[in-house]
Amino acid sequence: MTLETLLFYIFGLAACIGAVAVVVTQNVVRMAFWLIVSLGSVAALYFLLDADFVAATQIIIYVGGTLVLLIFGIMLTASGPYQKIKSSPGEVFMGAGIGVLLLVLLVGTVGAIDWSAASRAVAGPDFRPTTGEGYNPAGQGNTTRPIGMALLGPRPDKDLGKPEGSKLSSGYLFPFEIVSIHLLVVLIGAAYLARAKRRVQKVGPDSRE
Amino acid sequence: MSLDSYLLIGAILFVAGVVCMATKRNGIGVLMGVELVLNGANVNFVAFSKFTPLGLDGQIVSLFVIVLAAAEAAVALAIALNFYNNHLTIDVDRANELKH
């Protein structure tokens, strides 16, 4: 068993156990902890998939940003430190049954498809396997520069070495701009929604303020 | 490792997220279910990016998903705080005023 396989089993198991524990736990704070375990293990899986930039983004934005936001939400909304809102047993039973059925469906679908034939069909006849560009070999972090280039438009990771006059691959400049505007609008909207509001009080002679 | 093993992990994360969204009555718990679903999809994207001729496209799409998930969490938390201010609870079963 190579080290990569061992790491895959460790982090894959941690991701799955964390996800299932999020569902099983009734305590919100513990749910947040298990979510941290699951998302951190998923980041490790990204590293194993040679996606170093996505993995770093996952750690910084998800584990460092979104989960801190969620924990602040828990702290601001819980009336006690161990607040529990229980689901009824019937709902839990039905949810578990439907979940198991959905999992069987998904795993059966994944197992039934020949992925290498499907990817050959998608790539078309003139598929040319991408050689490792960048200054480092794959697995040592060579995705940051091509991802940055792709977000600006050109795609040297796909177009380098193509015969002259062939069609160039599409970049992601426009989605990048849309998502940046989207993020700005969303943050302004969230700040507007969550602003501190003065409670409406009945106007009377003895009302304060 | 093969593509199938990563897709299996993605499927487990997705199903856990869906069940979490469906059964939790705490609003924040529902949000965590959404995060799990998005992560399951992201695992699939990055796995396809390595094992198929997609190349870097899968990783770039997963970056967009991460950014949109952060935006969604911000707005949803603002809504949850507003709901808590109005109802003094975060039980989503109490959010039934549009029904009547």
Q: What ipTM does this complex have?
A: 0.90
H or E stretch covering A179 = helix A173-193
Contact A107 B11 (CB under 8 A): yes
Tens-digit pLDDT profile for residues A165-207: 777 778 899 999 999 999 999 999 988 888 776 665 555 555 4
From chain B, the residues in CB contact with A58 under 8 A are 42, 66
What pLDDT, on a 0 to 100 scale, did the predictor assign at position A148?
Answer: 87
Q: What is the pLDDT along chain B (100 residues), one digit of tens a residue?
A: 788 899 999 999 999 999 999 888 888 889 999 999 999 999 999 998 888 877 788 899 999 999 999 999 999 989 888 888 887 777 777 777 766 6
Residue with tokens 């911000």: B74
Q: Which of residues 160-189 of A touch B (CB under 8 A)?
A: 172, 175, 179, 182-183, 186-187, 189
A86: its two tokens: 């229980």
What is the number of residues in chain A?
209
* pTM of the entire predicted model: 0.86
Q: Give the residue among A58, A119, A31, A143 at the shortest CA–CA distance from B62.
A: A58
Helix intervals (H) in B27-56: 27-51
What pLDDT, on a 0 to 100 scale, did the predictor assign at position A89?
Answer: 81
The torsion of the CA quartet A33, A39, A42, A46, rounded to 10 degrees, works out to -140
H or E stretch covering A31 = helix A28-48
Q: Which residues of A153-167 are buried (b: 16+ CB within 10 A; e: fewer)?
A: eebebbeeeeeeeee
- Rounded CA gap, A76 and B85, in Å? 10
- B95 touches A at CB < 8 Å: no
pLDDT below 70 — which residues of chain A? 79-85, 124-140, 161, 197-209
Q: Give the residue among A17, A14, A22, A66 at the shortest CA–CA distance from A40.
A: A14
DSSP conformation letters of A117-134: HHHHHHH-TT--PPP--S
In angstroms, the separation between the Cα of residue A209 and the nearest Cα of chain B is 20
In angstroms, the separation between the Cα of residue B78 and the nearest Cα of chain A is 5
Q: Which of residues 67-86 of A touch B (CB under 8 A)?
A: 69-70, 72-74, 76-79, 85-86
What is the number of residues in chain B?
100
* Neighbouring residues of A208: CB distance < 8 A, sequence distance ≥ 6: A201
In angstroms, the separation between the Cα of residue B60 and the nearest Cα of chain A is 7
Q: Do residues A61 and A39 touch, judged by C-beta distance below 8 A?
A: no
**How many residue pairs bridge chain A and chain B with CB atoms within 8 Å of each other?**
219
- A133 touches B at CB < 8 Å: no
Angle of the A28-48 helix axis to the A67-77 helix axis, nearest 10 = 180
